[in-house]
Structure 1
Amino acid sequence: MKSNGLFDFSIDRENRTIRITREFDASLELVWQAWTMPQLLDQWCAPNPYRTETKTLDFQEGGFWHYAIVSPEGNKHWSRYDYKKIEPQKSITELRAFSDENGRVNPDFPRTECTLIFSETDGKTRVKITEKYKSPEMFEKMATTSHKKGFSSHLKNLDDLLLTLKNR
C-alpha cells in the first residue's frame, strides 16, 4: 500500500516528548484492529528485518501487552505496555517499559507514557502518537534519526498489512 506521505516526527527537547502523526489509507476500524489484536500486531509492529512476537495481550484498562522484538538471529528484546486508559476507536494511553521474558518491568528505566489518538476522515485514519519520557537518557536515545527511521519502517509494514486486510 502506498501511504499518502503524511508522516510527521517532531521532537520537543524541553519537555522530553516525541510526537508522531501518520495517516493510513484504511478505515478506523481496520487500523484499530491492527493496533489492538496480537495476531495483527505481530505482522507489522517491528522495523525490518526484526519481527514482533506477542507473549500476552490483555487489551483492557489495567491489562498489558508483553512482547518481544526478535532479531533475524533470534535474539529477543522484551517490552511491556500497561494500558492505563482505552476509549475504543478513539485513544489508548499506555505506560511503556523494558521488561524481562516474564514481564517484570526493568526498574533501571523509568516508564514512558504514550498516548495514541485515532481519527478518521474520508476513509483515511490518522494516528497521533505522543511519547513522554521521564528518563532524559531514554529520551536522548529515542530522539534520533535512527528511531524515526525505525518507526517509519514499521508503519510502512502496517501500510502493507492494511492493504492485505482490505483486499480480503
Structure 2
Amino acid sequence: MSVKSIDKDYEALTITALAEFEAAPEKVWELWADPRKLEGWWGPPTYPATVREHELSPGGTVTYFMTGPDGKTYHGWWHVLAVDPPRQLSFRDGFADEDGTRREDMPVTGVSVTLTARDGVTAVEVVTSFADRPQMDELISMGAVEGAAEAMSQMDAVLAG
C-alpha cells in the first residue's frame, strides 16, 4: 500500500496524509486531473464517487457525489484555488445538496496537494485544514480519517490501469 501515514494535528487543525507511488509525477497528477481516474479513488470502496463537473483551473469547480451501499448519494464540491501541474493543487472542499447547492450547515475544509519526485518515486502530501476544532472533530467523527485511508488505498490500482 502506498499510503504511508495519516496524521491528525489538533494544534495546527490539520490532517496530513502521506503516500508514495512508483510512478512519475505526471502520471500521479492524473489521479486528480482526469475525472475518470478521480472517480476510481476519491470515495472509499463502499462509497464510489461519480464526478459531474470537473474544471481543474483556478476559480474552477469540481462537483461529485458518492453512492453508499444502500444507494443513498452524498454530494460535494471543490472550489479550485491553485493549480500547478504536476506539482501542486489546492481547493476548498464542501458538502452539497442533491442539486449541487452548498450546504451551509456542513464544514468546508481547505485541501492542499503537493507532489514531489524523489528517489524514483512520487511523494504525495495531502493536507486538509479546518477552520476550528469543532469542525475538525465533526469530520473526524464522520469517519474522515478512515475514509481518506480507504480512498487513497485505491490509488495504486488506478495508476496501474
TM over 0.5, shorter chain: yes
The answer on whether the counterparts of 2:78 and 2:94 sit within 8 Å (CA) in structure 1 is yes
The answer on whether the counterparts of 1:22 and 1:128 sit within 8 Å (CA) in structure 2 is yes
Q: Which residue among 53, 77, 101 is the counterpart of 2:98? A: 101
SS in structure 2 of the partner of residue 129 of structure 1:
strand
Name the aligned partner's letter for residue 63 of structure 2.
H
Give the equivalent residue in structure 1 for 2:55.
58
Give the equivalent residue in structure 2 for 1:34.
31
Q: Is 1:116 the counterpart of 2:93 in the alignment?
A: no
List gaps (5 residues or longer) in structure 2: none
The answer on whether the counterparts of 2:95 and 2:107 sit within 8 Å (CA) in structure 1 is no
Q: State the Cα RMSD in Å.
A: 1.9
The answer on whether the counterparts of 2:10 and 2:133 sit within 8 Å (CA) in structure 1 is no
TM-fit CA distance, 1:52: 0.3
Give the equivalent residue in structure 1 for 2:42.
45
Q: Is 1:162 the counterpart of 2:159 in the alignment?
A: yes
Q: Which residue among 61, 79, 92 is the counterpart of 2:89? A: 92
Q: Is the deviation greater in 37-46 or in 74-83?
A: 37-46
What is the distance in 2 between the residues matched to 1:110 and 1:157? 25
The answer on whether the counterparts of 1:21 and 1:129 sit within 8 Å (CA) in structure 2 is yes
List gaps (5 residues or longer) in structure 1: none
Give the equivalent residue in structure 2 for 1:142.
139
Q: Is the deviation greater in 134-143 or in 9-18?
A: 134-143
Residues 27 and 145 of structure 1: CA distance in aligned 2, closer, same or farther (over 3 Å): farther
Name the aligned partner's letter for residue 120 of structure 1.
A
Name the aligned partner's letter for residue 129 of structure 1.
V
Name the aligned partner's letter for residue 126 of structure 1.
A
What is the distance in 2 between the residues matched to 1:24 and 1:144? 29
TM-fit CA distance, 1:92: 0.8
SS in structure 2 of the partner of residue 142 of structure 1:
helix
The answer on whether the counterparts of 1:21 and 1:127 sit within 8 Å (CA) in structure 2 is yes
TM-fit CA distance, 1:35: 1.5
What is the distance in 1 between the residues matched to 2:152 and 2:65? 17
Give the equivalent residue in structure 1 for 2:18.
21
The answer on whether the counterparts of 1:56 and 1:64 sit within 8 Å (CA) in structure 2 is yes
